[in-house]
Amino acid sequence: MRNNTIKSVVIFLLSCFISSVPLAAHAAMDPGSPQQIRTAEARVIAAEAYLYGYPLVMNYKAIYMYAVWKESPEFKAPFNEIKNVARVSTPDDKAFVAPNADTPYSWAFLDLRTEPIVLTIPEIERKRYYSVQLIDVYTHNFAYIGTRATGNKPGNYLIAGPDWKGKKPKGISSIIRCETQLALALYRTQLFETGDLENVKRIQAQYKVRPLSGFLGVAAPPPAPALSFPAWDEKKAQGPGFYEYLDFMLRLCPVHPSERKIRERFALINVGGGPSFEISKLSPEMAQALSAGLDDMRSAVLKVTESEKPFLDLVMASMELFGSREQLEAIGKRLNLKDFYLQRYRGAFFGIYGNSCEEAVYPAYMFDTEGKKPEGARKYRLRLPAGKHLPAGAFWSITMYDGTSLLLVANPINRYLINSPMLPQLKLNADGGLTLYVQHDSPGKDKEPNWLPAPAGPFELIMRLYLPDAEVREHRWKMPPLERVE
């Protein structure tokens, strides 16, 4: 994104929450009433807490659906157990937008309160990419294990919560510290082609998740108190109930030194400090103030995002949304933002659990070369240069999504993407380049090997560059254009 665009975001948000919101909140009130003044301030705090806390609440939803509620259709496994999903996404997968169809996933939600958890990785052949993305309650990518970060050699990695003070045990490759009490280990294992699935299954079967006591073969310490997870309710999360979920999550997050003041402000509305947040104890006026603050911030962020669309750098957008706390703070400073919370919010909104830029980048084709939304009824050409074709150290892919739902698109040849492992089956140009044909109808038998089928209506292409080259990370690379042929 361009700096002048970011400055407009900051100006707009400040105008909302230093001027408009307090004035609107006071307008219908008697300013001499302490209770009404507190209610007006609560509206402003609620707006701040919504921007700060949206990623945590969306993370809570995933945790509840994947690791807590066993009747959920999306349930994976209880805490501290691993669930391998030995397939890639298809059009039947509708739980999350823009699903990945390149790398079968494994999931392990970690409860680090009792003792550290050890992740055991087998030896993986050098040509195969894999990663374990470690995500904290805030949705920060606090560390990685994998091809880039640690190599493809075997190892045992100890994931320690904020309260653990132990020393490195024998047999542990390294200690990775998490600043929150819960975490997610999200595994990606590269699939070369359909016939390779059994090899992926064999690798996944060797991933192990064990408490430290189990790894060492000693008695386990007394367990931490059971957590009472509030049931997820989508409608509830759209109003004051949002702050109940946020309060639950913040109590699993020791206060970071840089956030003492903001956490003290949230505690004024019983979020993350003092008595637990209870909707039943709110006065009607306070409930309305919190709802209004939530709506204020949600509307402001959406309005700013809509106004930015013509200026978005679609190559770099994902690079500015995901990372560790330190990376996001640096991004905020580079973009002239007051802080990084707006970017963290957008990361959760557009695609929670996205990779940090050194691991993967997701350039998107939302417009063609004429600045128009792509439509499957039209015909497009995507020409990739000779050589590597795209600047990715591990592999690249280009995936087709429905332009409205951002889900995979059913088609007569069951092809949802074209990626670099498919190169032996594709037709190269005389100069070694690669031309892809993007359209609803077949481009003809001679061109079908390079055909990426589109829906009849609007579509969006998302490119994935795993281990992107320096030219991408340093903002020197330009996407090949999506050319409209007719």
Q: Which structural domains are found in the chain, ordered by start?
A: 3-66+231-351 (no CATH), 83-216 (2.60.40.1610), 363-484 (2.60.120.1600)
pLDDT higher than threshold 60 for residue 353: yes
Average pLDDT over residues 316-342: 88
Is residue 315 very low, low, confident or very high in pLDDT (cuts 50, 70, 90)?
low
Long-range contacts (CB closer than 8 Å, 24 or more residues apart) made by 222-231:
222/114, 223/114, 224/111, 224/113, 224/114, 227/111, 229/63, 229/64, 229/68, 231/64, 231/69
Lowest mean pLDDT among 21-35, 323-337, 354-368, 465-479: 21-35
- Edge-to-edge order in the sheet of strand 83-84: 83-84, 105-111, 182-189, 130-136, 141-146
- Give me the torsion for CA of 196, 200, 201, 204, rounded to 10°: 180
Interatomic CA distance for residues 157 and 154, integer angstroms: 10
CA distances 56 to 77, 87, 91, 433, Å, are 20, 28, 28, 44
Q: Which two tokens stand for residue 252?
A: 């699993």
**Cα dihedral sign for 169, 172, 176, 180?**
negative
The whole-angstrom separation of Cα 37 and Cα 77 is 46
pLDDT at 19 over 50: no
Confidence of residue 2 (pLDDT cuts 50, 70, 90): very low
What pLDDT is attached to residue 135?
A: 98
Rounded average pLDDT over 111-137: 98
Share of the chain above pLDDT 70, in %: 90
Query: pLDDT tens digits for 354-386?
Result: 999 999 999 888 888 888 889 998 999 999 999
pLDDT tens digits, 51-95 = 999 999 999 999 999 999 999 999 999 999 999 998 878 888 876
Asked if residue 238 has pLDDT above 90, the reply is yes
